[in-house]
Amino acid sequence: MTGLTALRLGGDRISVRVRRRACVVAAVLAAALAVAAFGSLAFTGELSPADVLRTLAGHGDRSDEFLLYRLAVPRLLCAVLVGVALGASGAVFQNLTRNPLGSPDLIGFTSGSAAGAVFVLTVLGGGMAAIAGGALAGGLATGAVVYGLTVRRQARGYQLVLVGIAVNAMLQVLTHFLLTRANLESAMAAQVWLTGSLNGRGWEHVWPALAAVAVLLPLLAAFGSRLAVLELGDDAATALGVRPATARLGALAVGVALAAAATATAGPISFVALAAPQLARRLTREPGTGAGTAALTGALILVAGDALARQAFPAELPTGVATAAVGGVYLGWLLSRRWRAGKR
């Protein structure tokens, strides 16, 4: 079940190798995501399952169409796109660091995006487009700093994670400093945004996130084969025609941009980028972390987490609070497992 299958396209001119188990897992994840998406529409809002089906079929009244297409569907699509971006970004960083703790929300990239967005919101007073630009600029700047401190010094594994954690801590201090210097209205708006929430997301949030994912995922696929070659070591990769520094820099830029796009859309959503690649890796039983299955897993986690945040508590919680609560337990389990493995 874990073997490779060659798909031939255009006769014998193009041959693509695919892993059968990974394809099956991706299909199952896509089906589970579809079920979770329908459940999010039908069981967490003011519409019943029958109302949702009737409205999707084009037979709903105007109030049902408003609730579904103006409120519920944009929020659902934002959850899917943000989950896809975080899952794929987490796969990039875990492959680059060769470490399960290599997640953009632990090694500073999400905090860099958050700091950039908070700077625009509290100091410049920018709107949604400016906040998104600030998040992207902050994430890319953080990526450049971490790249300069680690890759050029040939740091690997835990060194990358430790440097990223240090940068993450400094960026959180910067964010809190910006909040203390802002006026009350801007500080309150920034604090709400920093919790990470999908509440109030509309079509104006969907289109930029969709454009970012549509552009960045194909770029990530182009770097995927090069990252796989890097698993053989830099010398072997160079002998096979891959430039290690260029491949790492390109993958890093795409991963940072994905994390920044997700942060700009929904604020800093914790632990999805950490857990999704690890869960996908266990499902596919592959030595590396595939970005495709990680993206689907991230979307499933975030859609389910958003539904849980709305239904499982007396008052609706921000999605970031729910994922942080569950992710904290997962991080503790992962650290204890790594510690036990190191003791053997």
Separation of alpha carbons 243 and 139, rounded Å: 24
pLDDT tens-place string over residues 106-163: 888 888 888 888 888 888 876 777 877 888 888 888 888 887 777 655 555 567 778 8
Q: What is the mean pLDDT of residues 41-59?
A: 82
Separation of alpha carbons 269 and 266, rounded Å: 7
337 in any annotated domain: no
Q: Quick check: 35 pLDDT over 80?
A: yes
212, 258 contact by CB (below 8 A): yes
pLDDT tens-place string over residues 282-296: 888 776 667 888 999
200 in any annotated domain: yes
The whole-number pLDDT of residue 244 equals 67
Average pLDDT, the chain: 80
Q: Which two tokens stand for residue 168?
A: 């993450």
Beta bridge partners, 16, equal 7
86 in any annotated domain: yes
Task: Kindly state the helix (H) or strand (E) to which residue 7 belongs, with its residue range.
Answer: strand 4-9
Q: What is the mean pLDDT of residues 92-99?
A: 81
Q: ∠ CA 63-69-71 to the nearest 5 degrees?
A: 85
320 in any annotated domain: no
226, 181 contact by CB (below 8 A): no
344 in any annotated domain: no
Domain containing residue 87: CATH number: 1.10.3470.10
Separation of alpha carbons 304 and 311, rounded Å: 11
Number of domains in the chain: 1
The whole-number pLDDT of residue 1 equals 41
Q: ∠ CA 105-86-144 to the nearest 5 degrees?
A: 55
25 in any annotated domain: yes
Q: What is the mean pLDDT of residues 305-328?
A: 78
45 in any annotated domain: yes
The whole-number pLDDT of residue 82 equals 94
The whole-number pLDDT of residue 15 equals 44
Q: Where is mean pLDDT largest: 48-57, 74-83, 217-226, 302-311? A: 74-83
The whole-number pLDDT of residue 80 equals 95
Q: Quick check: 340 pLDDT over 80?
A: no
Q: Quick check: 14 pLDDT over 50?
A: no
42 in any annotated domain: yes
Beta bridge partners, 14, equal 9
Q: 286-322 in b/e burial notation, b at 16+ Cβ within 10 A?
A: bebbbbbbbbbbbbbbbbbbbbbbbeeeeeebbbbbb
Residue 203 phi, psi dihedral angles, 5° rounding:
-65, -25
Q: Where is mean pLDDT largest: 9-13, 136-140, 188-192, 336-340? A: 136-140
Separation of alpha carbons 29 and 280, rounded Å: 9
β 14-19/4-9 pair status: antiparallel
Enter the pTM of the model. 0.86
Full residue range of the structural domain in which residue 115 is found: 4-310
Q: Which two tokens stand for residue 132?
A: 């998104």
**pLDDT bracket for residue 2 (50, 70, 90):** very low
